[in-house]
Each structure stands twice: as structure tokens, then as C-alpha cells.
């Protein structure tokens, strides 16, 4: 399956402003791109790339004053399969976990593990450990938290979501992540593209999406408390402890967002004749 994805973002900057962005496909998916991605910045400015502590590809630059536009248009090859699952995946005892997963058991800015541990133990502590318990957490959050644009805020934490029972996709994931960590299941926040592929199209504009990953058995697995269903065409961009680690754009100064367009759409596979023609033209 081929998926065309990208974005068109416009900001107004009253003065020169440093930026850090995480707007590239995650390094684990770079080999699936038909052509290397390119962050298009208008007006042009020099960019420095680096990898953060979580392995995400970041771009660093200074822009403004005036209008700043960030664009990308890429094509990626996807398996077309639903998110992987393993109903028999076991929870790993803390003493056997790989060192790098331990940070995903701790509290973070949006995930107050200590505050929500009593609730997590009360709700899920007696359930069979493993995949089914994580799925129970997903289902509980999905059924008891109401989704709605305008129901979140930059400071909203997992405890707020548990108390208010509403939010957007990031809030669903923060609460599920916190419950998992409280039960000694490593859980990390993930963000990326998730189009309406294989499901009815939503009437709302496309946006970047959030989900979370848990470490079970011997690897990370995708879960999604917002949709609570396996999906097709999920394209990872970044992972971290919570949304604070994976902000897609961070401006160190005032940056007024004036346009926000995201697209991710399944594309028809090229015919054999088209492939031959493209090869002949060196494409």
C-alpha cells in the first residue's frame, strides 16, 4: 500500500524565533519512504538536524520575523496490515526489563503515576497480567472518557482527564499510559499520521494523531485508547514519555499559528507500465 502524507503549516512571527520541530517520519520508517523526506521552509533558512534522547529526528532553525511556512509532501510504502497484536504477550517483571524501558515506568509531566496508582490497582490490579490487561485499560479509557475538540488544554494531565472524563486523543493516551506505568508496564507516548484508511472518513479536518506503545514480552506494541481498535496505515513520527517530549513544533518565542493542514491518504499502486516509464526516466 502507498500512502501520501504531509502537512502545510503557517505561522506569524513578530521577531526572529528559534524553532525545534519533530515533523519527520520516525527513523524506523525511513526505509519505507519512496524518496527521502525534505522539510520545506519558506522563507528559506539553514537547518541543523539531530536525534534527541528518544531517537526522534529533530530539525533546529531560526526564522522570522514575518510569515513562516513549513511543508512536506512524501510517499511511504506500508504493509496495509492492521496493527500487530499478540494476545499471549506477557508482562515482563521489572527486574527483567531492558534498561532503556525503565524510564517509561516513571511519572512524567503529563502522567502522574503516584497520584493514579491507587485507581489503577483498584480497577485493573486483579486482572490477568499481559496483553488482556492492557486491552482492558484501553477499553476503560475509551468508554469512560468523552472525546471532543476544545475539551483539552496545554496543561491538562492524566489526573485531570481521570477527574473530568473528557479530552482529545493525547489525553486518552496520557491516562492509559499512566495506568500502565502504575502497574509496572512500560508505556510510552507516540505521535504520527493516522488516516481514515479502512474506516469511515470522519467529517472533521485531518490532524496528526496520538497513540501509545507498551513493552510486553520482548518488544513495543501499539495500543490506541482513543479509537480502541487496530488500524491500517499508522505512520510513526516520534515517541517519548508523554506529549511534552514529542511536540511537533516548539518555538522559543511568540509564534501565531495561522494555517494547519495535515493529509494522509491511500494512493493507487502504479501500474507496471508506469513503473517501467518511471525507471526509463530515472524517477
CATH numbers and ranges of domains, the chain:
2-79+247-280 (2.60.40.2250), 94-245 (3.10.620.30)
Closest CA to 1 of 75, 73, 74, 83: 75
User: What pLDDT does 272 receive?
Assistant: 44
Helix (H, G, I), strand (E, B) or coil at 193: strand
Q: What is the pLDDT of residue 202?
A: 81
Question: Quick one: DSSP state of residue 53?
Answer: T
Give the distance, in angstroms, between the CA of residue 226 and the centroid of all CA atoms in the same chain.
12
Q: Is pTM, for the whole model, over 0.85?
A: yes
CA 210 to chain centre: 4
E strand residue ranges, the chain: 2-13, 17-21, 40-42, 48-51, 57-63, 66-77, 146-147, 166-167, 187-194, 209-216, 219-223, 234-240, 249-251, 256-267
Length of the chain: 283
Strand residue runs (E) in 25-78: 40-42, 48-51, 57-63, 66-77
Retrieve residue 80's grid coordinates. Answer: 496495509
Q: How wide is the angle at C-alpha 239 spanned by C-alphas 167 and 179, nearest 5°?
A: 50
Torsion of CA 24, 25, 30, 36, to 10 degrees: -40
3-state secondary structure (DSSP) of residue 179: helix
CB atoms within 10 A of CB 187: 30
Instruction: Give the DSSP H/E element, type plus range, for residue 103.
Output: none
Nearest partner of 222 among 161, 177, 266, judged by Cα: 177
Write out the chain's pLDDT in tens, 283 residues. 999 999 999 999 999 999 999 999 999 999 999 998 989 999 999 999 999 999 999 999 999 999 999 999 999 999 999 999 999 999 999 999 999 999 999 999 999 999 999 999 999 999 999 999 999 999 999 999 999 988 999 999 999 999 999 999 999 999 999 999 999 999 999 999 999 999 988 888 889 999 999 999 999 999 999 999 999 999 999 999 999 999 999 999 999 999 999 999 999 876 444 444 444 555 5
Query: What's the pLDDT at 270?
Result: 60
* Distance, CA of 189 to CA of 4 (rounded, Å): 24
Q: What is the structure's pLDDT at 165?
A: 97
Q: Strands 187-194 and 166-167: what pairing?
A: unpaired
Q: What is the pLDDT of residue 283?
A: 52
Amino acid at each position: 500500500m502507498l500512502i501520501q502524507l504531509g502537512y502545510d503549516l503557517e505561522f506569524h512571527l513578530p521577531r526572529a524565533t528559534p524553532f525545534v520541530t519533530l515533523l519527520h517520519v520516525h527513523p524506523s520508517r525511513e526505509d519505507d519512504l519512496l524518496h527521502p523526506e525534505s522539510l520545506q521552509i519558506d522563507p528559506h533558512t539553514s537547518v541543523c538536524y539531530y536525534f534527541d534522547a528518544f531517537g526522534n529526528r529533530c530539525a533546529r532553525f531560526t526564522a522570522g520575523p514575518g510569515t513562516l511556512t513549513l511543508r512536506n509532501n512524501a510517499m511511504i510504502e506500508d504493509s496495509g496490515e492492521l496493527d500487530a497484536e499478540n494476545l499471549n504477550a506477557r508482562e515482563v517483571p521489572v527486574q527483567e526489563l531492558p534498561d532503556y524501558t525503565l524510564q517509561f515506568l516513571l511519572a512524567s509531566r503529563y502522567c502522574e503515576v503516584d497520584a493514579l496508582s491507587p485507581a489503577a490497582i483498584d480497577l485493573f490490579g486483579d486482572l490477568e497480567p499481559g496483553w488482556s490487561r492492557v486491552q482492558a485499560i484501553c477499553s476503560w479509557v475509551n468508554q469512560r472518557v468523552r472525546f471532543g475538540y476544545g475539551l483539552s488544554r496545554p496543561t491538562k494531565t492524566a489526573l485531570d482527564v481521570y477527574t473530568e472524563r473528557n479530552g482529545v486523543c493525547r489525553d486518552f493516551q496520557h491516562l492509559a499510559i499512566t495506568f500502565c506505568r502504575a502497574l509496572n508496564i512500560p508505556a510510552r507516548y507516540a505521535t504520527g499520521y493516522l488516516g481514515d484508511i479502512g474506516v469511515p472518513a470522519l467529517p472533521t479536518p485531518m490532524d496528526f494523531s496520538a497513540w501509545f506503545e507498551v513493552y510486553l514480552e520482548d518488544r513495543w506494541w501499539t495500543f490506541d485508547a482513543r479509537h480502541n481498535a487496530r488500524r491500517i496505515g499508522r505512520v510513526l513520527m516520534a515517541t517519548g514519555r508523554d506529549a511534552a517530549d514529542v511536540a511537533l513544533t516548539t518555538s522559543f518565542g511568540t509564534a501565531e499559528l495561522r494555517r494547519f493542514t495535515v493529509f494522509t491518504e491511500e494512493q493507487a499502486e502504479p501500474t507496471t507500465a508506469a513503473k517501467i516509464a518511471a525507471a526509463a526516466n530515472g524517477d
